[in-house]
Every structure is written in C-alpha cells, then in structure tokens.
Amino acid sequence: MKPICVITGGGSGMGLEAAKLLAQDYRIILVGRTVAKLEGAIAQLEALGGEVEAFPGDVSDRACVQELAAYAAGLGSIKVVLNAAGLSPKMATGEKVFTVNAMGTIYIVEEFAKVMGQGGCILNVASMAGHMLPDAQVPLDAFKLALADSDAFAATLCGMLNAMPAEEAPATAYVMSKNFVIWYSRQVACQLGKSGIRILSISPGTFKTPMGEIEGAQAAAMAEMGALGRLGEVIEIARVMAFLVSDGASYITGTDILCDGGSIAALRSR
C-alpha cells in the first residue's frame, strides 16, 4: 500500500504539478475549495495512472482540517503534507488573505502533527514576498502568540489589518503572512523533530501559474529583473518540492528554501 500524501491547494498550479510527480510513490489526497478544479486535477492525475482522490475544504477552518487529518490517517500512513493552499493580494480581503495563509498553516501543522509519524514531512509554501519584510517591521511579539494561543494571534493580526486602509490591507497581509509561514516553520521544527517529523518552508518567486497571472505585470516585472531574468516554469518548483519531501532530503528541516530565480538576490544587490 502506498503511503499518503496530502496536498492542499492541489487543484491547480504548483500543488497540482507537484502531485503529478509525487503520484508515482504516494496515494494523493488533493484538497481545495473549488470542486470543479479538484475534479479537473483528479482527471489529469488518473490519466497518468495516479491513485488520487479529492477532499473539498478550506484550510482556514480548523474543524475542516481536523476532519481532513482524521480522514487521511484512516487511509494509511501519512508521509507527506504539502501545504500549498494560499491567497495572493488580489484574491481577497486582508483578513481573508491572512486567515488562509497564516492560520491555515497553523491548523495544518497542529492537526497533522497529531497523526503523522517517524519520517513524515510537512512542507509549507511561503513566498519570496516573505523575505521582503524588513526585520524592524516583523511583529515578532504577535508571531510568538501563535505558539501558545492561536486565537490571540489571529485577533492581534486581524486587528492590525482592519485598522489600516482597506486598499492597503491585502498586500500587507500577504507579505506578513508569508513571513510568518517562514518563521513558524522554523519555530516548530524542533518540536516536531522529536517525533521524527520534518517541517520546512519553500518560498517561490513568480511562476507561470493561475495565481501568478492574477498578480499580473508587477509580479512578472519582479521576475524579469531577477538574476535569471524570467518567470519560472511550474515544473521547476514542483521538482524542488518533490525532492524536499523525499527521503533524499531527510536531513533538511527547520529552514526555508528560496526558489525565485534570483529575484531577491537582484533586489538586494541593487
């Protein structure tokens, strides 16, 4: 029996492309909010011979994540959780962007840590945007609340976002939430390591995905000014994701992998 691989945000983009690679070795559970996307993804994976099923749901709902974790555990040994669900600034309000990106990450990690065992891996998808937040602007005291009281963390950050102009909140929420994903993945790595579970994050730059298209010319320009001078092909990051969750990366945990074609390097060099 193949081990279980859960992929949130698996209906399209990076999550789906990674699923195509991982389906060779795992039974895949694709998670997403849009049933039509999931159905299309299932058809593609089954055409490739994959053993796959869909679980419609929203990672920003803890009860839904609890149901997902229990369901996946009932199917077999959960080896991989690829948490690719996320919203960009043009997709929702600031509070919703934060809730999906940050709270969804907390819920996925906390609930799957209860049902995963030795040799498991959780890979959270952050963003190069998380690397753009100056250290002085990181609300570290608020971030620390997430380790002890996630409700207090949510209330504090949502309060900050709701206090700023509505047009500024989505971009701020995106940068802050992705910075948090990087920070949080590092913080909990020591805790989960005691159970033999690896956790790390990956920070994509701009790739040719539906989300990249939504963000438009500004995101594309960032990539074109990077070291490689182009947008990434989605297979390029899918290969990195597949490696990071594999046994070949068994000594990698508690860190972030920046996969942005040198966009951040170019930004800093200027």
Please, are residues 86 and 99 in contact by the beta-carbon 8 Å criterion? no
pTM beyond 0.75, yes or no: yes
CA 9 → CA 34, 54, 55, 190, distances in Å? 9, 11, 11, 26
d(Cα 68, Cα 112) in Å, to the nearest integer? Answer: 9
Structure tokens at 191: 């805790």
Model confidence at 220, pLDDT cuts 50, 70, 90, reads: confident
Residue spans of alpha helices (H) in 127-209: 140-145, 150-162, 169-193
pLDDT at 38 over 90: yes
Quote the distance between the C-alpha of residue 32 and its chain's center. Answer: 12
pLDDT at 214 over 90: no
Average pLDDT of the segment spanning 10-24: 96
211 or 138, which is more confident? 138
Coil, helix or strand at residue 23: coil
State which fold the 4-269 domain adopts.
Rossmann fold (3.40.50)
Average pLDDT of the segment spanning 183-200: 97
pLDDT per residue as tens digits for the range 143-157: 999 999 999 999 999
List Cβ neighbours of 242 (8 Å cut-off, separation of 6 or more). Answer: 18, 21, 22
Low-confidence winner among 26-35, 84-93, 203-212 (lowest mean pLDDT): 203-212
What would you report as the CA-atom Rg of the chain, rounded to the nearest whole angstrom? 17
Q: What is the mean pLDDT of the chain?
A: 95
